[in-house]
Amino acid sequence: MIPNSTRFLSDLHELRQFGAAGVGKGVVRPAYSAADIAARAWLAGKFEEAGLPPHYDPMGSLFGLADGPSILLGSHSDTQPEGGWLDGALGVIAALEVARAAKEAGGPAVSVVSFQDEEGRFGVTTGSAVWSGSLSLEDADKLTDRDGATLAEARAAMPTASAFVDPSRFTGFIEMHIEQGPWLDEAGEAVGVVTDIVGIRDMRITFEGEQNHAGTTPMHLRRDAFQALGAFNAAINERFRNVVTPQTVWTIGHVKLHPDAHSIVPGSATFSMQWRDRDSTRLARMEEVIREAATQVAREQGVRVSFGQMLGLEPVQMDAKLRGVLEESAEQSAARSWRKMPSGALHDATNVSRHMPVAMLFVPSINGISHAFEEDTSEADLITGLEVLAGAVAQLG
Ligand code: HGY
Ligand code: MN
Ligand code: MN
């Protein structure tokens, strides 16, 4: 089976046009945006052309389905509010190209998927979480984005079918993805075969104090929601010191102050609190630290604290057999230029692993940059990754 790298790169660049923004190859294509819906319509046409009847599921995840039992390849085509051209899109287009090459070679049967809202505009890998059954469609519909829009409202704007694709038609799932970190690029290696994917917890927390005049309100009389957030952040950084490892990460990436004005003491601060680690016990311990610290700061600062719904995924090991096939193929196509490595980023493969064996392979991210317009990978590395994926599928066939 010989993938056509020219066709592959041409489709990658064509997909990039949907939501092209910012510098270089930046893309803005959030789940359910006009650019996302148009990109999925274009993908559906490509799946049709490849002889893979397109099927949208109720969340808007788009499948290209081979007849009978098949291996599923794919990723997601939605992006972060500011994203790159490869995060997710690479895995979808590589899957399409391997599916076409497999068909041209007379097999094996390959189906393709672009999951919806992997980037969590509404939750955490929402489309594959609903497809895999870890989140009900009913609960997903109630999720809101950072501007308060519900997922139900958003998905009403796109073509969705009533039925979910039955996972039992697939024999396994392989996702190709950019590393989104520095290690392959730093080592000058071409391929990473993923051993495991970290677990994650994500929630919104709100401190509510008292909105007041920034000039006439003495500091000792204030109930300043931002001061509470500042004290909370300092407290968790201190208390995490004897809980975390150098690989553990935690992020406050979104903060909304109300009323968000220069001359007003903020009455409320709503912020995202996200943490990730390869160990579920450590994730649980960090949750305790977060809740204890927020509650104590609220008491000390005379503000109220409320915790939103916590979403999360457990750490997951990649399937040994599928991983072995990827390692074999990496040795063929990138001898002595590949490594085994964990994934610090989340992927749909975590949800898909509830139903079938899964594995992942990475290609390098230049300067380790991702979730930014500057995200990029050399064409040579993209093609090597495609060859490793095709070689693995040919072995499975
Ligand atoms: O955040 C993540 O790890 C993924 O890129 N959504
Ligand atoms: Mn991704
Ligand atoms: Mn991402």
Question: Lowest mean pLDDT: which of 21-30, 81-90, 204-213, 361-370?
Answer: 21-30
Q: How far is the CA of 79 from the centre of ligand 2 (A)?
A: 8
pLDDT band at 35 (very low <50, low <70, confident <90, very high): very high
Q: How far is the CA of 87 from the centre of ligand 3 (A)?
A: 6
Q: Whose CA is nearest to atom 6 of ligand 1?
A: 119
Q: Identify the pLDDT of residue 354.
A: 98
Average pLDDT of the chain is 97
Mean predicted confidence (pLDDT) in 30-52: 98
Q: How far is the CA of 123 from the centre of ligand 1 (A)?
A: 11
Q: Identify the pLDDT of residue 191.
A: 98
Atom of ligand 1 nearest to the CA of 346: 3
Q: Is the pLDDT confidence value at 162 over 90?
A: no
Q: Is the pLDDT confidence value at 159 over 90?
A: no
Q: Identify the pLDDT of residue 175.
A: 98
pLDDT band at 161 (very low <50, low <70, confident <90, very high): confident
Q: Identify the pLDDT of residue 160.
A: 82
pTM of the model: 0.93
Q: Identify the pLDDT of residue 23.
A: 75
SS3 labels along the chain:
CCCCHHHHHHHHHHHHCCCECCCCCCECCCCCCHHHHHHHHHHHHHHHHCCCCEEECCCCCEEECCCCCEEEEEEECCCCCCECCCCCHHHHHHHHHHHHHHHHCCCCCEEEEEECCCCCCCCCCHHHHHHCCCCCHHHHHHCECCCCCEHHHHHCCCCCCCCCCCHHHEEEEEEEEECCCCHHHHHCCCEEEEEEECEEEEEEEEEECCCEECCCCCHHHCCCHHHHHHHHHHHHHHHHHHCCCCCCEEECCCEEEECCCCCEECCEEEEEEEEEECCHHHHHHHHHHHHHHHHHHHHHHCCEEEECCCEEECCEECCHHHHHHHHHHHHHHCCCCEEEEEECCCCHHHHHCCCCCEEEEEECCHHHCCCCCCCCCCHHHHHHHHHHHHHHHHHHC
Q: How far is the CA of 208 from the centre of ligand 3 (A)?
A: 31
Which ligand approaches the C-alpha of residue 198 most closely?
1
Which ligand approaches the C-alpha of residue 177 most closely?
2
Pocket lined around ligand 1, Cβ cut-off 6 Å: 118-120, 345-346
Write out pLDDT tens, residues 250-293.
999 999 999 999 999 999 999 999 999 999 999 999 999 999 99
